[in-house]
Structure 1
Amino acid sequence: MITHNLGYPRIGAHRELKKANESYWAGKITAQELEQTAKNIRLNNWYLQKDAGIDIIPCNDFTFYDHVLDTCLMTGAIPARYHDLLVEKQLPQLDLQFAMARGFQKEGLDVTAMEMTKWFDTNYHYIVPEFAANQQFSLFSEKVISQYHEAKRAGFEAKPVILGPVSFLLLGKEKEKGFHRLQLLSKLLPVYLEVLRKLDELDAHYIQFDEPCLSLNLGQEERDAITSAYTTLQKAFPQLHFILASYFECYGENLQTVLQLPVQTLHLDLVRCPSQLEDILATNIRHTKLRLSLGVVDGRNIWKNDFDQSLALIRKAQEALSNERLLIAPSCSLLHVPCDLDLETDENNLPAVVKSWMAFAKQKLDEVKILADLAGNTPSVNALQSLKDNQAAMADRRTSSLIHRPAVVARTAAVSEDDARRTSAFPQRKQLQQEVLHLPKFPTTTIGSFPQTATVRSWRTKWKKGELTAAEYDTLIKEETAASVRWQESIGMDVLVHGEFERNDMVEYFGEQLEGFVFTQYGWVQSYGSRCVKPPVIVGDVARKAPMTVYYTQYAQSLTDKPVKGMLTGPVTILQWSFVRNDQPRATTCLQIALAIRDEVHDLEEAGIRVIQIDEPALREGLPLRHENWDNYLQSAVKAFRVASSGVTDKTQIHTHMCYAEFNDIFESIAALDADVITIETSRSQSELLEGFAHFKYPNDIGPGVYDIHSPRIPSEEEMVHLMEQAMAVIPAEQLWVNPDCGLKTRDWPETKAAVAAMVAAAKTLRSKVTA
């Protein structure tokens, strides 16, 4: 039975790509050195997959920044504002893609970055393509061809992975009115045909087209576009073997269209939607030549595969189709999981028993091969022993005391509607809060974190290694906190933050202080570009051990008469940005986390903190891909937030923060959170989100971000005033706050100070204008 993989992590087992990218941006290495690092990662990935016994190995799954951005470059879909960089500066493709992703501000040019948003319901961010009515496409970047050629020269008969033309269009946005981006398909397909021609000349055979939009609720126009695209491509190249891959959900009502497509293999995500196998086998597939790729190994989570469950699905397929028509694969690209469990050697973070329940990308390749072996006519002795070991691990996990805490289960079951309700409505709360806080019009704040410099990170490393005592570390953190408070006061900030210098990550920091979590040393995954995160692992029932944030927040508040925000990560975001246990409903785990955060909110209020922010940037990310599943998720997510935030008096102001996702379709649920203030990303998307507020009439206060913190460029005061004036056109001035898009952890101090000072000045200008 053939095995294949849809994609492999591109960052390197030790985050080599992140380090090389950032060194290149800092001017510390050359483009050639960066390219060599990338080539080493690709070759290592190919050899690793070959050694695991994977039959069809992907290529072009590597990217320096983002695969959707790569498709923009492949098709020449480069927004007009970058043309000066191409013509005048003659930027190489490498630098052009970084400028499109991060912005460009030097040598007399100031060009904003492209919008960034979440890749379906994952924490991976992609660069959003921009389309115009007169959009022209042409083959600009030949990366897909060069990487296939590179693999072939190295001795691998690889499978190019290409984002499909319809998903590429649907994932983008029209940047002017009067047309729909699908109307551009006929202009786009010639580029795909040229790419296929060049691959065919190099004797490529398998081509994987990723069309993840087939997991969404598509209309007839979108389904017709899919049919037109693949009819055109296959007609031109009938000798090529097309693997059509969608993932993260069922095909749903798109299934009949998909089954009629002229493709040779159809991939199924049987982890997220095992029921679709029966739906497909109930059709006339037996009487066709279509092959099925069975995605039975979870590409989204770190738990070991349950071989018995996977084999049941495989055998169901075998009852209808011969082994020659079946392929075994992960459910999706392994981009979303860490590289190698073998690197995890610290039992203090990851107990051996928990490690025995896990599989990272490298180990998932082994699982794919073992499952194919077990499903064959004569399984090997090694495969049969692997099955026994797997069954023992599954049984051990089901009964472990590390997982089950009866007191947590009982408290969660006892949550009532009153636990999820503030005492008074927002208008009454706002009046009481103003009597305490005395805020001006257009109050200013930041989202929470300030730059985590190399020096600050070194303190944490030295403390953990025992090179700094706890007292020495505490003194250093307090000094940095005090400096940030003095600076915020000096520029006239209204609601201050303590800077979060003691925190490693907005989720990991909390997970380390909660029961039910374990941690990895090398469990890094890519979030966007060079940004990697190391998600904590929720292995059991969650509860708070002791106060988590009160100490440094209370210290910062002691230094100033201005309000200092308590900074917490919300239950939905902690859930979404962790690897979550898969043995109980996610909503149950989320409610357990909410109760732990509720306890922390209570203690912050008792400590005299009158503004508390509970970040929920992942609220939209967790939304199911299919509309019919939205209500249950949104009800449970809103309930979790309200349980976390509602145990305070009316005088305590609750903030939340959201960023880099499409929120226009869930405004009612955002309003139902009933946070007193929401800060939200709008600058990178050119305040597009504000159009939704014009229709919805958001009831509480809102801070539309005026400073894109994921770009190194520094916006001017005038630019930020303009963005706020756009907001005032749709939101009453008395509801508006002024703030950056997101936390400032990844920026450096010079640009942070310049941009935030300009932001405060912009707020003062707005106050003068409104008064006049």
Structure 2
Amino acid sequence: MKTLLPTSTAGSLPKPSWLAEPEVLWSPWKLQNEALTDGKQDALRVSLHEQLQAGIDIVSDGEQTRQHFVTTFIEHLDGVDFENRQTVRIRDRYDASVPTVVSAVSRQKPVFVKDAEFLRQQTDRPIKWALPGPMTMIDTLYDDHYKSREKLAWEFAGILNQEARELEAAGVDIIQFDEPAFNVFFDEVNDWGIACLERAIEGLNCETVVHICYGYGIKANTDWKKTLGSEWRQYEEVFPRLQQSDIDIISLECHNSRVPVELIELIRGKKVMVGAIDVATDRIETPEEVADTLRKALEFVDADKLYPCTNCGMAPLSRQVARGKLNALSAGADIVRRELLA
């Protein structure tokens, strides 16, 4: 029987202290060579165990095998020079030193497929795997070859499609594309960003998600949020076109944000991963707070299409806090599940 209100996380979970520095985003590895390979697999096992202990229904690798949700994928592609770095403005919010596209981009071999196969061997639960979306990829690079954001995005969409098809063949049930850039570049999203995403999911039979959040709880993001006013209506710009798209599930930020919950109405008919856990604070939600967020969302999405989730990844949090939040997510979903089945 299909689980009602299946819970999942939006992405990353904290890494163990023996693998990377805790509570630091994109921290370097503490191990090398074979020890690093073993360490990543051990961390993946631990991350899976903590999700299972908390009662999470759709599990992931917690992004234990990657340093960064975008560049770890790009590192495995040809045509990008990581030594030749330029400073660019990321999502119109902060400056970062990024690698340069110097020639045609291509993928010679799978990037995450072995890791996905390993996760599949560890559990019978449905598994979700996250990939960076094409628009967020181009926003994390300096392009010295194509000289066109759109052209580079289409190239990446084809590469992502190769990877996604192999992840599906490895037993992944849900493939998620992370597109925080969809909250910033609205004209491009509607002109070609969503079309690029549809190219990335072409031919897939597994379920597909686009995750659009307001970012990790880092200073650049929290400062940006302060400029957005009393209501965050960014979703309003892209939801109508997403509602018409081939993407199965829309993953969005909800709890403790200023997103008007009624915007979910704009994607009526789609499955919705509702962020019911705030990742920008160490405070652990109560199950009742999670339940309250889900009840509000249920006014605008049918119960069989609601997937309780976290707002974003939890890599910068302590493992203790992340565990507490996972437990709260499960317990809150359970409260509402019981109410619906009563």
TM range (shorter): 0.7 to 0.9
Match of 2:228 in 1: none
- Residues 33-182 of structure 1: matches in 2 within 5 Å? none
CA distance in 2, matches of 1:460, 1:440: 38
Question: 1:749 matched to which residue of 2?
Answer: 319
Deviation at 1:536?
3.2
Give 1:620 deviation, angstroms.
3.0
Displacement of 1:585 in angstroms is 2.2
Distance 1:578 1:682 in 2: 29
> What residue is the counterpart of 2:208 in the other structure?
654
Name the residue aligned to 2:275: 705
Task: Give unmatched runs, 5+ long, in structure 1.
Answer: 1-437, 624-629
Asked if 1:668 corresponds to 2:229, the answer is no
Q: Match of 1:684, SS? A: coil
1:682 aligns to 2:254 (yes or no)? yes
- CA shift in 2, pair 1:462/1:771, >3 Å: closer
SS in 2 for 1:566: strand
Per the normalisation by structure 1, the TM-score is: 0.39
Partner of 1:762: 332
The residue that corresponds to 1:622 in the other structure is 185
Aligned to 1:115: none
Distance in 1 (alpha carbons) for counterparts of 2:322 and 2:292: 20
User: Is residue 598 from structure 1 mapped to residue 168 from structure 2 by the alignment?
Assistant: no
Task: Return the match for 2:101 from 505, 521, 538.
Answer: 538
Question: What is the aligned partner in structure 2 of residue 471 from structure 1?
Answer: 34
Runs of 4+ in 1 over 6 A off after TM superposition: 521-528
Encode CA deviations 1:33-87: one digit per residue, 9 max, x unaligned: xxxxxxxxxxxxxxxxxxxxxxxxxxxxxxxxxxxxxxxxxxxxxxxxxxxxxxx
Percent identity at matched positions? Answer: 24
C-alpha distance 523-721 of structure 1, shift in aligned 2 (>3 A): farther
Contact 1:687 1:726 in 2 (8 A): no
SS of structure 2 residue aligned to 1:543: strand
Q: Secondary structure of 1:446's match? A: coil
Shift of 1:583: 4.9
Distance 1:752 1:545, change over 3 A: same
Residue type at the aligned position of 1:657: H
How many residues in Structure 1 have an aligned counterpart in Structure 2? 317
Where does residue 3 of structure 2 map in the other structure?
440
Match of 1:554 in 2: 117
The verdict on how the C-alpha distance between 1:591 and 1:714 changes in structure 2, with shifts beyond 3 A counting, is same
In structure 1, give the amino acid aligned to 2:262. Answer: E
State the structure with more CA Rg: 1
Distance 1:702 1:533, change over 3 A: farther
Question: Judging changes above 3 Å, is the alpha-carbon distance between structure 1 residues 523 and 745 closer, same or farther for their aligned structure 2 residues?
Answer: farther
Once the two structures are superposed, residues 199-243 of structure 1 have per-residue CA deviations (whole angstroms, 9 ceiling, x without a partner) of: xxxxxxxxxxxxxxxxxxxxxxxxxxxxxxxxxxxxxxxxxxxxx
Aligned-residue offset at 1:636: 1.4
Query: More helix by proportion, 1 or 2?
Result: 1
Question: Match of 2:143, SS?
Answer: coil
Q: 1:633 to 1:476 in 2, by over 3 A?
A: closer
CA distance in 2, matches of 1:734, 1:593: 33
CA distance in 2, matches of 1:496, 1:633: 29
State the shift of 1:453 in Å.
Answer: 5.0
**CA shift at 1:737, angstroms?**
0.7
**Deviation (angstroms), 1:579:** 2.4
- Aligned partners of 2:116, 2:95: CA distance in 1, in Å? 27
Letter in 2 for 1:599: Q
In structure 2, list runs of 5 or more residues that go unmatched.
22-26, 215-231
Instruction: Name the counterpart of 1:189.
Output: none
Amino acid at match of 1:644: A
Change (3 A) 1:583 1:674: closer
Structure 1 residue identity aligned to 2:36: Y
Query: Under a length normalisation based on structure 2, what TM-score does the superposition of the two structures give?
Result: 0.85
- Measure how far apart 1:524 and its partner are: 7.4
In 2: Cα distance, 1:668 partner to 1:611 partner: 23
- Give 2:148's aligned residue: 585
Q: 1:499 to 1:523 in 2, by over 3 A?
A: farther
- The whole-number CA distance in structure 2 between the counterparts of 1:646 and 1:674 is 9
What's the CA shift for 1:570? 1.0
Question: 1:461 Cα deviation (Å)?
Answer: 3.6
Q: Give distance in 1, aligned partners of 2:20 and 2:85.
A: 17
Equivalent position of 2:263 in the other structure: 692
How far residue 648 of structure 1 moved from its aligned partner, in angstroms, is 1.2
Task: Look up the match of 1:489.
Answer: 52
Q: What is the distance in 1 between the residues matched to 2:5 and 2:207?
A: 16
Q: Does the CA contact (< 8 Å) of 1:520 and 1:534 recur in 2?
A: no
In structure 2, relative to structure 1, the CA distance for the partners of 1:745 and 1:522 (3 Å cut) is: farther
More strand by share: 2
SS in 1 for 2:182: coil
Shift of the alpha carbon at 1:500? 1.3
**Other structure's SS at 1:535 match:** strand
Q: Distance in 2 between matches of 1:562 and 1:609?
A: 10
Q: Is the 8 A contact 1:543 1:595 kept in 2?
A: no
Q: Tell me by how many angstroms 1:522 deviates.
A: 8.0
Superposed, 1:206-217 pairs within 5 Å as: none
- 1:750 offset after TM fit, Å? 0.6
Which residue number in structure 2 is paired with residue 740 of structure 1? 310
Counterpart check, 1:642 vs 2:198: yes
